[in-house]
């Protein structure tokens, strides 16, 4: 009997040991799963932190570049204001760079610490040497053809030498265009190597849209048939035009002159002509007729017609009674 009781106690003890081992194995598996999940979460957090650090580094780099650009812009503005004070209102534009550059002039390399915004290779041809330079007054189609002749497909940016030209967009009725006209006509003699065009923007509205002409007069500088710079100042004089073109293109003035009596005569007219706009008059009449037609269909127009008809009938009846 005692023997049987002892065997029963041993079996119960062995069963409890097996249960404890299985429970411990399950706990270990759970702990391993939690460790794996924590490792995965750690890797994801590490990847996110690296991405955030990379974004912050790029942002700091962009801020540094923008700061450098702002510093350069402030230096240019300070120099422009200084030039304005020294030249008594004549506007100049120039940009200085720290590194020296070599500019080719007539086949010779010249070291220069100041780099102009445009590189122009304009030169006088043999046919143009014996003629008096003048402004070419063109219409829209001939102006486009002239620019197409200046285009060179091998030129990709403004730092490469290409043909430069000037274009004045004016209006025959504009007083400011008339004021700038003689000075622009004289500018052709100051820079005979530059081609200068003039277009009446009031007659060619498509060109205004194409080249962004918002007001007249507008002076644009073309490089390889592309408009790159605009004269944004209110002083329309030969001296300011000369300084602007010289500093922007790097070309030196060939002749120092003043507007003559011939410059006041043309090619760009120096007298504003106030003409009547017949298209505007026709548009006004057409709008008025359309309005009258629509008003005739309204109930108010019907009431007015009935009132006039009744008044006319009463007047006729009174006239018959009087007779």
Can you give the residue ranges of every domain in the chain? Answer: 126-265, 278-322
To the nearest 10 degrees (0 to 180), the angle between helices 299-322 and 278-296 is 80
Predicted model pTM: 0.54
Cβ burial, residue 120 (10 Å; 0-12/13-18/19+)? buried
Find all residues with CB under 8 Å of 133, minimum gap 6, and list them: 188, 189, 191, 192, 196
**Tokens standing for residue 112:** 């220069």
Q: How far is CA 218 from CA 7, 84, 232, 242, in A?
A: 115, 21, 8, 16
Q: Can you give the pLDDT at residue 319?
A: 77
- Residue 158, Cβ density class (10 Å: 0-12 exposed, 13-18 middle, ≥19 buried): middle
What does pLDDT average to in each consecutive run of 10 residues of the chain (323 residues)? 53 49 50 53 63 77 69 53 46 34 38 59 69 90 94 90 94 93 94 94 91 94 94 92 92 87 92 82 92 89 88 83 72
The gap between the terminal CA atoms of the chain, to the nearest Å, is 160
Q: Which residue stretches of the chain are H helix?
A: 2-87, 126-129, 140-150, 175-190, 205-211, 238-249, 261-265, 278-296, 299-322
Q: How far apart are CA 141 and CA 117, in angstroms?
A: 29
Contact predicate 172/271, CB 8 Å: no
3-state secondary structure of 101: strand
Taking the C-alpha atoms of residue 142 and residue 149, their distance in angstroms, rounded to an integer, is 11
pLDDT of residue 41: 56
3-state secondary structure of 18: helix
User: DSSP character for 297?
Assistant: T
By three-state DSSP, how is residue 88 classified? Answer: coil
* pLDDT given for residue 88 in this prediction: 43
Strand, helix or coil for residue 105: strand
pLDDT of 171 reads 94
| CATH architecture group of domain 126-265 | 3-Layer(aba) Sandwich (3.40)
């Amino acid at each position: 009997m005692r023997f049987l009781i002892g065997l029963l106690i041993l079996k119960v003890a062995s069963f409890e040991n097996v249960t404890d081992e299985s429970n411990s194995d399950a706990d270990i598996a759970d702990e391993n799963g939690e460790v794996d999940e924590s490792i995965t979460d750690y890797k994801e957090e590490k990847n996110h932190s690296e991405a955030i650090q990379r974004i912050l580094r790029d942002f700091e780099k962009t801020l540094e570049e923008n700061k450098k650009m702002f510093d350069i812009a402030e230096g240019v503005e300070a120099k422009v204001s200084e030039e304005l004070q020294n030249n008594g209102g004549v506007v100049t534009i120039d940009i200085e760079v720290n590194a020296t550059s070599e500019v080719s002039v007539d086949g010779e390399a010249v070291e220069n610490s100041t780099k102009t915004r445009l590189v122009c290779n304009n030169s006088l041809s043999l046919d143009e040497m014996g003629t008096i330079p003048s402004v070419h007054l063109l219409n829209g189609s001939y102006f486009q053809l002239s620019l197409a002749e200046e285009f060179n497909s091998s030129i990709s940016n403004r730092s490469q030498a290409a043909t430069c030209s000037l274009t004045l967009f004016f209006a025959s009725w504009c007083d400011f265009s008339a004021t700038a006209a003689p000075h622009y006509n004289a500018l052709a003699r100051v820079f005979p190597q530059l081609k200068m065009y003039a277009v009446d923007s009031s007659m060619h509205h498509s060109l205004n849209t194409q080249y962004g002409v918002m007001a007249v007069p507008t002076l644009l500088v073309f490089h390889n048939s592309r408009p790159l710079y605009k004269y944004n100042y209110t002083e329309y004089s030969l001296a300011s035009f000369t300084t602007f073109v010289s500093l922007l293109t790097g070309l030196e003035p060939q002749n120092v002159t003043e507007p003559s009596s011939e410059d006041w005569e043309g090619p760009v007219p120096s007298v504003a002509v106030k003409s009547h706009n017949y298209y505007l008059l026709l548009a006004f009449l057409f709008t008025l007729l359309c309005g009258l037609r629509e008003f005739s269909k309204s109930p108010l127009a019907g009431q007015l017609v009935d009132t006039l008809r009744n008044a006319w009938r009463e007047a006729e009846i009174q006239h018959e009674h009087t007779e």
